[in-house]
Structure 1
């Protein structure tokens, strides 16, 4: 089974823009244990402010400003909810 793009959104948000791409893939990207590949980013003035992604060898993680943190992936819907909550936290200064 080939990879299938489930979601691709790119739109303005706040002072910048968001881009969300989520793929259903045939096999997990280790060390992730789920069958999704994703990249979600909030960019302001050319700089990544919030980002979520997973990559082979690194697994699920998120970026808040210059800090990289582990992320516990549950589902694509939860991923998008967590991403938007972090963006709103940054916008609100939390």
Structure 2
């Protein structure tokens, strides 16, 4: 049986102690609740404190966390996923 293959990983530590970590895997079968062949975990926050996160865990499918809110996320492509996540991180950090 084919295994998951990591296709993207990036991690950044901000001077204020915040962490941004993005990992995307190509999976042999869609994660339960998603209709594409990727598993992803995008995180922004501090140790023990999530501020923004996008992921697709089995059963929940594609969704995002922004502060205390959790909502369904409509996955379009990897490029849109990363752009949406980074835009939310920028807003959270006080940007646009």
Q: What 5-or-longer segments of structure 1 have no aligned partner?
A: none
Q: 1:80 aligns with which of 79, 82, 94?
A: 82
* CA distance in 2 between partners of 1:13 and 1:70 (Å): 28
What's the CA shift string for 1:4-29, capped at 9, x where partnerless? 10111111246311010100001001
Give the aligned length. 94
* CA distance in 2 between partners of 1:30 and 1:8 (Å): 22
C-alpha RMSD of the superposition: 1.6
Q: TM-score, normalized by length of structure 2?
A: 0.89
Mapping 1:20-39, distance limit 5 Å: 20-39=22-41
Structure 1's 5 and 47: CA in aligned 2 closer, same or farther, altered over 3 A?
A: same
* CA distance in 2 between partners of 1:77 and 1:49 (Å): 21
Mapping 1:1-94, distance limit 5 Å: 1-13=2-14, 15=16, 16-44=18-46, 46-92=48-94
Assess if the C-alpha contact under 8 Å between 1:14 and 1:91 holds in 2: no
1:43 Cα deviation from its structure 2 partner: 1.1
* CA distance in 1 between partners of 2:47 and 2:62 (Å): 25
